[in-house]
Amino acid sequence: MDILLKRTVFLLALVPFFLLLIRVQQNNLGPDPAQELSIETGEWALRFLLITLALTPLAQLTGEVRFVRQRRMLGLFALFYASVHFLSWMAFILGFRWMAIAEELLERPYITIGFAAYLIILALGVTSPRAMVRRLGKNWKRLHKLIYLAAVLALIHLLWILRTDIQEAVLYGGILAVLLGYRVFRKLGLIKR
């Protein structure tokens, strides 16, 4: 049953990427395809971060541990979409001009914040294999708590990019607030274990 669930989750997590590929192939990304591709992949990275953060409370509230077992894979999908987001920005918007990339990172705070979120997610992805968990010991758990910071930074990055049409970002912010609030209340003992 767990193998079937894992395969189903894996295939479902790929659906947004394949739908995006179809839109690229059909030249159906609107007047600014590079911008649309970058925004879509960035939003999917944030969505997968939120899904990953939702699995622990879901397991605790339902008593169903199968949810938690999908956390690593869904976190890696957050990294996958964040990597596609970062690569599409570098390739299609900046044309892999390394000096322009460095300038953007230094001069535009919203890009610096997004890049910081990406580096955190990358560090979490690199340290997610079981061998790294064993090697890092207790430090692994400390490091992986940075997912909260990555989610907040990713949300700020999105809010800053959208500027005026922020309804979707506000929705993500509300979800993140609930997920982080749940953890705070649980830690304070206001939610029973």
pLDDT tier at 116, thresholds 50, 70, 90: very high
pTM of the model: 0.93
What mean pLDDT do residues 25-39 have?
Answer: 90
Kindly report, residue by residue over 34-56, the tens digit of the pLDDT: 889 998 999 999 999 999 999 99
On the question of pLDDT at 163 being above 80, the answer is no
Write down the pLDDT at residue 13: 97
Q: How far apart are CA 157 and CA 66, in angstroms?
A: 32
Cα within 13 Å of Cα(184), Cβ side: 7
Measured between alpha carbons, how far is residue 64 from residues 58, 60, 70, 125 in Å? 8, 7, 12, 24
What is the average pLDDT value for the chain, to the nearest integer?
Answer: 92
